[in-house]
Structure 1
Amino acid sequence: MKNVTLKVEGMSCNHCVQSIEKALKEIGAAGKVDLAGKSVEVTFDENNLTEAAIKEAIEDQGYDVV
């Protein structure tokens, strides 16, 4: 398992947290959103998932991974 922390812009409320965590779960990753820190800590199996796929899943929800 691999852990990465991504900076994410555009998050402002609990709905944002739920949206991102759900999107990550759907692709097989676990995410913990830090609204105050504007970041998402993601745990995933690097044999089954890439960082690019994780970034795409977050961006598909309308947020910017920087």
Structure 2
Amino acid sequence: MSVFPVQRSSDGEDPRFTYGLALDVARVLASHGYPDLTNPAVARGGDLVNLQDALFLFIYGPKEKL
């Protein structure tokens, strides 16, 4: 049984989901030999946004259709 995705709060806010979370994950990826998205010489604008999107989808699941 999986624990993710987790339930979203009714107001859609979660103080744990920050830009810093994506940076921490980016650093872990870099420590395993992947491109270092925290290095301005390496990172491209969309890479961190894509990482945040992937984390959001993993943590909270797909958005419900309205």
- Rg (Cα) greater in structure: 2
**Fold shared, TM-score > 0.5 on shorter chain:** no
Please give the TM-score of this superposition, normalised by the length of structure 2. 0.31
Name the structure with the higher helix share.
Answer: 2
TM-score (norm 1): 0.31
